[in-house]
Amino acid sequence: MSSERLLTVLISPVFTEKAARVADRHNQYTFKVRKDASKHEIKKAVEKVFDVQVEKVRVLNVKGKVKFRPGQPKGKRPDWKKAYVTLAAGQEIDFTSE
């Protein structure tokens, strides 16, 4: 696995109420990742980018919503992949610092 590939696996962190609740209770962080990324690649990418130790990675495919607009053809938002990354005890990711 090349380091260039690892740097492109993570697209963005997900900041939602559920993601904040999971981060506080279970030391898990949520990321939007590439659709072709594996759990092993996600784990290595998080460890490399944020310099933390990852315990477990859970992934799920999110279906894009179908949107209807009166008088126009219906559209669909793209499907995407979400990863819940559990960190080892005492580890933390700070998104506010540079």
Condensed to tens digits (0 to 9), the pLDDT of residues 38-47 reads 999 999 999 9
Torsion angle of alpha carbons 66, 70, 71, 74, nearest 10°? 0
Question: Strands, DSSP E only, in the chain?
Answer: 10-13, 28-33, 54-62, 66-67, 75-76, 80-87
Give tens-digit pLDDT for 38-92.
999 999 999 999 999 999 999 999 999 999 888 888 899 999 999 999 999 999 8
**Residue 64 structure tokens:** 């894009």
Q: Is the pLDDT of residue 1 over 80?
A: no
> CA 57, CA 44: separation in Å to the nearest integer?
10
> What domains lie within the chain, and their CATH numbers?
3-87 (3.30.70.330)
pTM of the prediction?
Answer: 0.87
